[in-house]
Amino acid sequence: MPWRDPSNNNIVSWLYIFIFAAWGGVVRYIIDVRSGKICRSFVAVIAQVIISAFTGVVAGLLSESMGSGFHTTLAICGISGAMGVAALDYYWRRLTEG
């Protein structure tokens, strides 16, 4: 059973990627609250974290497929998580324009 093998750290690596992406969402929420763009709201922070986690994981998949190192992948996930929907728009344009 590969998920019980302690030498298989692939699951832990993707957990780190997910955490960095979600943390990017928290950072984005804090930036938006401080700049006055949005008011403090529990629902808003949860929505931002969900969007950022998805965006960061997509960025992690793209980074892994391009052969980037693990630390570079984490940085890309965190930045993409902080960018949120803007990163999704960027990735969508890059993938569909050919």
Q: Domain coordinates of the chain in residue numbers?
A: 11-96
Dist CA 79 CA 64 (whole Å): 15
Judged on CB neighbours under 10 Å (0-12, 13-18, 19+), 35 is: exposed
Give a three-class secondary structure readout of 63-83.
Answer: HHHCCCCHHHHHHHHHHHHHH
User: pTM of this prediction?
Assistant: 0.78
Task: Give the closest residue to 86 by CA, choosing from 58, 67, 66.
Answer: 58
CB 84 within 8 A of CB 30: no
Per-residue pLDDT of the chain (98 residues; tens, 9 = 90+): 454 555 566 788 888 889 989 999 999 999 999 999 888 889 999 999 999 999 999 999 889 889 888 899 999 998 998 998 888 888 889 888 86
